[in-house]
């Protein structure tokens, strides 16, 4: 089932085109990792999907129905965990969660049950009566999540939920997101932490300049780029002649030599490392440690967008 269906979405700010015929589909039960450099259109696309922003052209459907600012039946099924902690400082942990849950759940008994379950889910039982200013950054993030998911939404947007939190809280948050998926929620997840996206996402969409430029599983995206392998070899005494020959080897490109380490990017090809070592040995060069690394999601992002994911 297509939980989110976006077709040919266009959003302009006067002369600036923020979204240029964006197409995006999110399927039931998946975690979609939404990646893009700053200014790529991620936030704009999410705000349009949530009907927090108007748009110029295109169609947006959520759960098979047209999304609009007054589509309250759809909004009741959606949870949003924003990047900035959005809670009330004058309310306790329990009161905050109860307030946000109460926007959708009017029955008091049901709401009490949901609030208790949300507190248990994010591990804040010992902090029920604390106000946010008494909580650490990681605990505030957990509270932020509880406020966004207490009404048991079927579709949840997480925007950078682990920014500036300690490792224990980060693991707790990631475990919780996986548990929500296992319970049947569909999740859209944005992050600048590649390792989180690779761990969580069943599928990844990369947005740049207002449209999706690549999508697929992590493995599919890695196979789609030029780089197939990064090779590093400790070798003493390489000459310019040696380097020129290595650069001429068909499967190698981006060859460099610094501080006694030869580094080369390899495309697809068989026996690349073996051929390189055979050549070096034939030149009677002393070889030390040999390292071979497969491409990462950051390599994919860099090759496709020309930018590092964490570029600010």
Structure tokens at 306: 């020309």
Structure tokens at 220: 């599919």
DSSP lists the bridge partners of residue 235 as 287
pLDDT at 305 exceeding the cut of 90 = no
Give the H or E element holding residue 245. helix 240-248
The whole-number average pLDDT for the span 106-124 is 96
Identify the weakest region by mean pLDDT among 116-120, 123-127, 168-172, 185-189. Answer: 168-172
Does the pLDDT of residue 14 top 60, yes or no? Answer: yes
Task: Give the pLDDT of residue 66.
Answer: 95
Q: Is the pLDDT of residue 151 over 70?
A: yes
What residues pair up with 204 in beta bridges, in sequence order?
33, 216
Selection from 17, 222, 175 nearest residue 214 by Cα? 222
User: In which band, very low, low, confident or very high, does the pLDDT at 192 lie, cut at 50, 70 and 90?
Assistant: confident
pLDDT averaged over every residue in the chain: 93
- Any idea which residue has 């040999």 for tokens? 290
Relative to beta strand 186-190, strand 155-159 is parallel
Instruction: Provide the whole-model pTM.
Output: 0.87
Q: Residue 297 pLDDT > 70, yes or no?
A: yes
Which pLDDT does position 312 carry in this prediction? 40
How far is 190 from 111, CA to CA, in rounded Å? 29
User: Residue 288's pLDDT is what?
Assistant: 95
Given a cut of 60, whether residue 311 has pLDDT beyond it is no
Walk me through the domains of the chain, giving residue ranges and CATH numbers. 2-223 (3.40.50.300), 229-294 (3.30.70.100)
The DSSP secondary-structure symbol of 307 reads S
What are the DSSP E strand ranges found in 14-133? 16-27, 31-35, 57-62, 65-66, 78-81
| pLDDT score at 130 | 98
Q: Name the 3-class secondary structure at 246.
A: helix
pLDDT score, position 307: 78
In degrees, to the nearest 5, what angle opens at C-alpha 227 toward C-alphas 225 and 230? 150
pLDDT at residue 86, as a whole number? 93
Report pLDDT for 268: 78
| Percent of the chain's residues with pLDDT above 90 | 79
Segment holding 133, helix H or strand E: none
119: Cβ contacts below 8 Å, ≥ 6 apart = 93, 94, 97, 125, 128, 146
- pLDDT per residue as tens digits for the range 197-255: 999 999 999 999 999 999 999 999 998 988 889 999 999 999 999 999 999 988 888 89
In this model, does residue 284 exceed pLDDT 70?
A: yes
Give me the pLDDT at residue 113, please. 97
Q: Read off the tokens for 270.
A: 């068989």
Residue 150 · residue 114 · CB < 8 Å = yes
Asked if the model's pLDDT at residue 105 lies above 50, the reply is: yes
Which token pair is 248? 């001429």
| pLDDT at position 309 | 67
Taking 50 as the threshold, does the pLDDT of residue 117 lie above it?
A: yes
pLDDT in tens, 37-90: 888 899 999 999 999 999 999 999 999 999 999 999 999 999 999 989 999 999
DSSP E strands in the chain: the ranges are: 2-13, 16-27, 31-35, 57-62, 65-66, 78-81, 155-159, 186-190, 203-208, 211-216, 229-235, 252-258, 261-266, 287-293
pLDDT of residue 306: 83
Cα end-to-end distance, the chain, whole Å: 36
């Amino acid at each position: 089932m297509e939980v989110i269906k976006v077709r040919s979405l266009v959003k302009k700010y006067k002369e600036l085109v923020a979204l240029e015929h964006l197409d995006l589909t999110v399927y039931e039960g998946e975690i979609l990792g939404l990646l893009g450099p700053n200014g790529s259109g991620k936030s704009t696309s999410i705000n349009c999907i949530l009907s927090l922003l108007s748009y110029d052209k295109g169609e947006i459907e959520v759960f098979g129905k047209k999304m609009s600012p007054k589509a309250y039946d759809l909004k009741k099924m959606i949870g949003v965990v924003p990047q900035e902690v959005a809670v009330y400082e004058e309310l306790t942990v329990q009161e905050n969660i109860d307030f946000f849950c109460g926007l959708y759940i009017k029955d008091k008994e049901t709401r009490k049950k949901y609030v208790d379950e949300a507190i248990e889910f994010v591990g804040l039982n010992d902090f029920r009566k604390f106000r946010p200013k008494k909580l650490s950054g990681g605990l505030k993030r957990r509270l932020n999540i509880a406020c966004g998911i207490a009404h048991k939404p079927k579709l949840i947007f997480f925007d950078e939920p682990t920014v500036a939190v300690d490792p224990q809280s980060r693991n707790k948050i990631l475990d919780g997101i996986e548990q929500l998926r296992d319970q049947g929620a569909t999740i859209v997840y944005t992050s600048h932490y590649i390792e989180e996206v690779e761990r969580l996402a069943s599928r990844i969409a990369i947005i740049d300049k207002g449209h999706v430029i690549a999508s697929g599983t992590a493995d599919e995206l890695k196979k789609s780029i030029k780089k197939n392998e990064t090779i590093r070899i400790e070798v003493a005494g390489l000459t310019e002649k040696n380097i020129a020959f290595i650069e001429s080897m068909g499967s190698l490109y981006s060859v460099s030599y610094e501080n006694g380490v030869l580094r080369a990017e390899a495309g697809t090809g068989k026996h690349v490392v073996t051929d390189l070592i055979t050549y070096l040995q034939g030149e009677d060069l002393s070889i030390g440690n040999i390292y071979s690394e497969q491409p990462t999601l950051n390599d994919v992002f860099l090759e496709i967008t020309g930018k590092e994911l964490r570029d600010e």
